[in-house]
Structures are given as C-alpha cells and as structure tokens.
Structure 1
Amino acid sequence: MTTVRMSGRYVLVDEIGRGAYGVVWRAWDGRDHVWRAAKVLREADAVFLLRFLREQAVRIRHPHVVTPVGWAGDDEGVLLTMPLVAGGSLLQLLDERGTLPAPWAARVALQLADALSAVHAEGVTHRDVKPGNVLLRPTGAGEPHAYLGDFGIARREEDPRLTEGSLVLGTRRYLAPEAWEAGSTAPPIDVFAAGVLLAQLRLGLAADAPALRAAPPEPLLAIAAAMTHEDPAARPTPAQVRAAIDATGLAHAPLDGSVVVPDRLPPLPAGWTAEGPGTDETGRWQRAAEAASALRIQASAPTAPPARASRRGLLLPAALVTVGAALCAAAVALLLPR
C-alpha cells in the first residue's frame, strides 16, 4: 500500500474513515513516535477551511473529549491530528445491536454529560452531538469509555457565524426546535441532542424527541424526555443530567457482559507494526531517512574557528571523510535486507 508523507512529520498509512470535509487516516507521527488519527482536508472552499481550523482551535482537556493534537499543512493539503480511538462509534454499535442495556447506556450518557459540562465551561457549543460523533475505546466486554469528538461546526460564544444564508448546520434528527427555527447556537441545543442520543441508546436509532412521549416508563427515558423539552430554559444542564443519571443507580449497576466494543481498525499494512515502521522495506527506508537526517544535522553544526596549520590539522579532513563515509555506509546498510 502506498503511503503519503506530510509536513515531514506524518506518514499517512491507511484510510480509516471519511467525514464531511476530509478523509481520516491512520497516521504515524515520526516526531512523537505514536499513531494518530489524521483528518486531511483537500477541499479548497474557504468555509470548509475555516471549519477545519475551528476544530483544531478547540483544545479541551478532558478524559471524555477527543481534542486535536495539532495541525500542519503542505502541498498535499491541510492535516489535523488527534488521538487514535480504535473502538469505532456509538453509531456502529447501535447499527449492530439495535439497543443497549440500561446500565451500559447510563454509563455512556453520564460520560457524555461530563464531556458537555467541560465543553460548555469553555464557552463552546458542540452543535453536532450524535452517535456518529461519540467514539469508543475498545474495552471489550468491560466498562465503556466514550469520547465526544468532531468539533468541526462547534462554536464559541464570541465566534462569527459560518453559515451561509439560511443554512442550518447540524443533523436534523438531533436539532433542537430553537436551532432549527431560529438558528440558536446556545448550549441547551447540545443537551437536546444528547437527550435524543440517550433515547436511541434504549430505543434504537429510529427514536427521536416525539417518540419519547410514547416511550415506556423507565428512568433513563424520563431523563431523555426532560433533556428534549421544547423550551430550552426548561432543559437540565449537563451537570443536572449527570446528577439525575447518578441518582438512578444504573451507572453503577453490574454489566452483564453482553456489549462488546472491539478494536475496529483494520490490520496494519505490511511493513508497519503497533510500534511504527517494521523491519522490512518500509522500516529500512525509515531508518535510512533518520540516519540521513542525523547526517544533515551534523553537517549543519557550527564549526570551530580555523586553527594554526599542523600535521595533525592536515590529517583532520581525511579523518572526517573516513567518518563521513562510514556514516553513509551505515545508512546504506539500513536499506539492505536483514
């Protein structure tokens, strides 16, 4: 498989997803020596670029928020990197299972409420809370660990709008009435969307706010109904949602092990391992590149002032040539099969 190097630091190894404005790659960070998820924007439209840069500007440090690591750009495009989360999304899990047990759903809803509390405390509204934007750590049949991600249309209180004309950003099923009708971007719209998501955890992806009126009486659905109240002033805050979920005791009830979150990433292409470049051709070229970089650094190092000529001084250039040849030979040797 052909890899793409960007900005001299990242190697785009394989495509793992596609978003509204870019392709998501599994990327090797050659500086920090870790795997990242990398969104690559190849769209020239200025609005897409502004949304892309807005996402990288959201740097919320929280255990349930996927925050960007950094960004870079070159002739290949603009790249945004973030931690690599391998368990897929809630959307994938709901597609497979239909619904989720109450103790499992309560844990995820509580984590999402914590994430929204952190996001809103920074003056940010996410604006696109939905199952596809909630990522999962691959914990198997153990305790779930969810992350709120994709801040591409998030908005700070002081930000200018990036909509065009009457266009409303977001996903219709999760849009609060005030967002759909008046374009509101206030934090209660996130609570509404999270309420729809909570209903879907228990009722399936077809559920929406009206469906809660005919839903069976259970604690989590009662909380979801409050979160999707038509009046934004009547909705609970994320902190109040957390307290309500906690009061049910469901987030602390035993899990039955029926929900399994696997590692959904495909196997790494030949030449790559969990630790990065392998020992075949890809690895040899990587090590050779590192050796060549070391040679360039040495070559660019400041030199001492000229000294008085001596027999020893006349021998130095020959010695440097010998050392340089040895270093080049070592770099070439890295390219040879082992």
Structure 2
Amino acid sequence: MQTLFLSREHIQTLHTADVLNAALAARVAQLETRQLEVEQLNVELRHQIADRSGHLVAAIRTMIDPGAKTPALAPGQIVQERYELQREIGSGGMGTVYEVVRLADRRHLALKVAHGFDAIALARLAREAQIASQLAHPNMVAILDVDISDQGFLYIVMELVVGKTLHEMRDRFGDPAWALPVLAEIADGLAALHRSGIVHRDLKPANVMLAEGANGERVAKIMDFGISRISQDETGSSGSMPSLDRTAPTLRENPRGPKSSPRSSSNTLTQAGSLCGTPQYMAPELMHVDRVLPSADVFSLGVLAYELLTKDAPWPEPASVVLDEGRILAPAISLAIHLPALDPAVATLFDRCLLLAPGDRPTAQDVALQLAKVKQTDA
C-alpha cells in the first residue's frame, strides 16, 4: 500500500507540474504575441512618420515667407498638448534643440525646430525626420515624432542623447585605444544606414555623439540626416528603402556665391552644381558627380578615423578642394607610419577608405567587420 500511495503522489506531482508548464507556456505565448504587436506598431509608426515627413518636404518647397521667424519657445510651454518644454540644449546654423518632457509618459526627449520659416531649413528638418524615422539602430539617433505646431513651426522629436559630440572631445584624439571602439560603432551604424539605401553625406565629428548608455558606457550615435540622400548603385538604380519618396526634394547648399551656375534646372532642394557637406570630410567625387554612392561616406569615415587616431587631418587642405581646383593631391601619409604600433590590418583598412577612386574603398560593413575581428583578437 505504501508503494501505491507514493505512486499516486508522484502522479499527482507530475500532473501539477504539467498544469504549471502549460500555464507558463500560455503566458510566454501571450507575451510573445504582445511583443510582436509592439514591434509591428513601432514599424507602422516609423512608416507613418516617414510618410508624413515626405509630404512635408514636398509642401515646404512652396513656402514664400523666408523673413518670418519661429516664435520664441520658453520653459513650461506646451507644444501640441504633447510636449512640455524644459530648456534649450543648443542652437546651430539651421535650428535649435530643446529638452522636452512627453506628457503621456514623462519621458525626456529632444525637440528640434528650424530657425525661421526659410524653406531650405524647414525642408532639411523634414528630410531628417523622413530619413531617420526609417532607421532603428543603437548607433543612430532615433526620430519619434514630426509635426507642425499650431503656431506654424515644424518640429521633430528625437530621443534625448546625453553626452558630447566628437567635435567636443578633441582632447581624446590621438588615443587609438579610445578611438577604435568608437570607430567600430560608427562603422556599424553607417553600414546599417547604407543597407537601408541611405548615404549620410555629412559624416564629421560634430555629427557623431558619444552618448551615455544605461550602464554608464559610451555609445556612438550618428545624427543629423538633413542632407542625406537615397543611394544609387553603379547602374544608377536607387537604394532599397521602398517607403521613402525618392522624388522628394533634398538639400544642397551653394557656398560659391552667385557666380555658380547649376547644371540642371531640376526644381529640387538638391540643385546640381552646388556643394553639399563639409569640404574637410567630403569625398572628392561629390564636388562633380550627382550620383550618390555609399563609398562617399566611407571616405568621410576614413578622414574621421585619421583624425581620431592621429589628431591630424590626412591632408593639409581638404582633398575635395585641392582636386576641384585642378591641383595634384599626394597620397595621405599611411597610418602605419604615424602609428607603428597600430594593427597593420587596421592601418591598411583606413588607408583604403581614403583612396580617391570610390570603387577601391572598402564598404562600411567591411570596416565594421574588420574592427570587430580586431576587438575579438585583443580580447
């Protein structure tokens, strides 16, 4: 009887375990379903932001009041019944960034507005939202909302990134142990951007933020997509972002003054024959070639890497300017000469980024993979 009693007890225990396992499995399935729903909502939200931004880009071309000014924003002001303004974070040539609190969940975010109602500045802001809203990557600043306020100013809402730009951390330049992990993250973010069919076109220290991560670590984040473009492959076909309006106007600024004459009468915000980007970091081919390829960003990454690793620019004058003026550009001094202790594979990798022929440069993915291998070897 004792054996029978224990057997029944054992069976009851197994039955209870089966019931608990079934309940646990059902709960896990429920959570997985909810997680999938959240992911689908996030994807749908990004598409909605991109679509709305695309319409804004096209509409802003017709704005004819360049003299108007954006209303002053003050702490405590509520924007569209959604965001409470806290403070001004910073201001640049094209816009101002504020810290805000989202009223729905009290999350601190960044709100960016353009200076005045200049069509170029507004279109750049809308373009930035259109581009960045399609991207979800830890090494890129996330765009969460875009709209026009009741006061008539366009704004985009981004994750609030606490940290400093690389431009503000030049005192760390020349330290490979610090620079290489940063460059690896930049390359990883750039590769994700290129996989989405986008070329940044203005990668430079001021457009990379070193943010404070959740555990106190530093995370590199690429930002400012205001002059980004859909990439084209060697056959001229465009990149692989189906929801982005490829006919929407993009931006090019012309610093050469009134003597510069466009090669095209295309009514877009990226007029042929004008200059876009920062000459010191710009790939030489962007001075004359309208077709935009990811290899242009890789050149910028090479210049950035050279500066982070050596404190110096690869050339005394920007390569784009020297070649545009018809002068001969000598090859940059190899990183292996500047830094004999640097891994030869890394030195060669970044030397190749600076090659003048776009097709001879590695891809951003190549750079990311090579730096990941070096990190694993060092570990």
> Normalized against structure 2, the TM-score is what?
0.61
Q: What does residue range 171-186 of structure 1 map to in structure 2 within 5 Å?
A: 171-186=278-293
Q: Distance in 1 between matches of 2:350 and 2:368?
A: 12
1:36 aligns with 2:109: yes
Contact 1:133 1:148 in 2 (8 A): yes
* 1:198 paired to 2:273: no
Instruction: Tell me the residue number matched to 2:76.
Output: 3
Going from structure 1 to structure 2, the CA distance change for 1:72 and 1:140 (only over 3 Å counts) comes to closer
Q: Is 1:108 the equivalent of 2:182?
A: yes
The answer to which of 215-224 and 80-89 deviates more is 215-224
Instruction: Work out the CA distance in 2 between the residues paired with 1:221 and 1:143.
Output: 26
What is the 5 A alignment of 1:1-338? 2-58=75-131, 59=133, 60-74=135-149, 75=151, 77-94=153-170, 96-97=171-172, 99-138=173-212, 143-157=217-231, 158-159=246-247, 160-161=249-250, 162-164=269-271, 166-204=273-311, 206-208=313-315, 212-213=332-333, 215=335, 216=338, 217=340, 218-219=342-343, 220-249=346-375, 253=378
Describe the shift of the 1:207–1:15 C-alpha distance in structure 2 as closer, same or farther (beyond 3 A). farther
**1:252–1:7 Cα change, 3 Å:** farther
Counterpart residue type for residue 56 of structure 1: A
Is the alpha carbon distance of 1:205 and 1:31 closer, same or farther for their aligned partners in structure 2, counting shifts above 3 Å?
A: farther
CA distance change for structure 1 residues 116 and 71 in 2, over 3 Å: closer, same or farther? same
Secondary structure of the equivalent of 2:112?
strand
Q: 1:138 to 1:252 in 2, by over 3 A?
A: farther
CA contact (8 A) 1:12 1:25 kept: yes
Please report how far the alpha carbon of residue 80 of structure 1 lies from its aligned counterpart in structure 2 after TM superposition. 0.7
Aligned equivalents of 2:167, 2:98: Cα separation in 1: 19
In structure 2, runs of 5+ residues without a counterpart are 1-73, 232-245, 251-268, 320-329
The AA in structure 2 aligned to 1:3 is G
On the 8 A contact 1:223/1:245 being kept in 2, the answer is: no
In structure 1, the partner of 2:3 is none
Query: Deviation string for 1:207-240 (max 9, x for gaps)?
Result: 4566842542433443221111100001101111
CA deviations over 1:188-218 (Å, ceiling 9, x no partner)? 1111111111111111264456684254243
Paired AA for residue 110 in structure 1: A
Give unpaired runs (5+ residues) of structure 1: 255-338
